[in-house]
């Protein structure tokens, strides 16, 4: 009998991958890649033992996907950052499933450093980043290592699309 937690986690990773590929227009109506060799396709990589490389690759991000009831976001973000380095990607974020809601409502968490680097790459002010992608801040205590910023999967998909298009804050949609 398969481990139910592993099965649930795999289903969440697949749902996130499928949503992002559809949002970005990388698949047809049947979910088949338009170009299977396109490096921009969102994929679930095979794991590589002790040097975990993240659950989903959505260049330039690795996504650490979590389908658990009790969040441990700061710990997960540290994990995502290490896995991004292992995979050779510049950004690592966490995608946390919200119980009873569809994939587009999942929560995408950025640590402050990753959020700032992403914002800078997009050429946006902090205010514009918050407004355009619907971020909310979670500032817990005085330790900024436990602070993080959150949006939903649908808005993250738009951010990912903008990152890939090289959209900047000057005249961007």
Domain boundaries, the chain: 4-165
Tokens (6 digits) for 43: 């994929």
Note the pTM of the prediction, 2 decimals: 0.92
- Integer Cα distance of 143 and 146 in angstroms: 6
44-56 pLDDT tens trace: 998 777 788 999 9
Per-residue tokens: 85: 């380095």
Q: Using omega within 30 degrees of 0 as the cis cutoff, is the peptide bond preceding 111 cis?
A: no
For 79-103, the pLDDT digits (tens) are: 999 999 999 999 999 999 999 999 9
Token representation of residue 22: 């559809």
d(CA 95, CA 109): 6
What does the pLDDT look like over 145-166, one tens digit per residue? 789 999 999 999 999 999 999 8
């Amino acid at each position: 009998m398969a481990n139910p937690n592993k099965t649930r986690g795999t289903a969440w990773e697949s749902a996130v991958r499928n949503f992002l590929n559809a949002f970005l227009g990388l698949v047809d109506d049947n979910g088949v890649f338009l170009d299977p060799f396109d490096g921009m396709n969102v994929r679930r990589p095979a794991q590589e033992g002790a040097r975990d490389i993240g659950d989903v690759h959505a260049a330039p991000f690795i996504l650490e996907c979590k389908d658990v009831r009790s969040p441990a976001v700061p710990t997960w973000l540290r994990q995502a950052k290490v896995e991004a380095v292992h995979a050779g990607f510049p950004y690592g974020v966490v995608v946390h499933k919200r119980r009873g809601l569809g994939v587009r409502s999942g929560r995408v968490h950025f640590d402050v450093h990753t959020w700032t680097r992403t914002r800078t790459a997009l050429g946006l002010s902090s205010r514009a980043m918050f407004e355009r992608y619907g971020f909310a801040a979670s500032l817990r205590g005085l330790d900024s290592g436990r602070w993080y910023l959150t949006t939903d999967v649908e808005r993250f998909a738009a951010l990912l699309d903008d990152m890939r298009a090289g959209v900047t804050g000057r005249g961007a949609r």
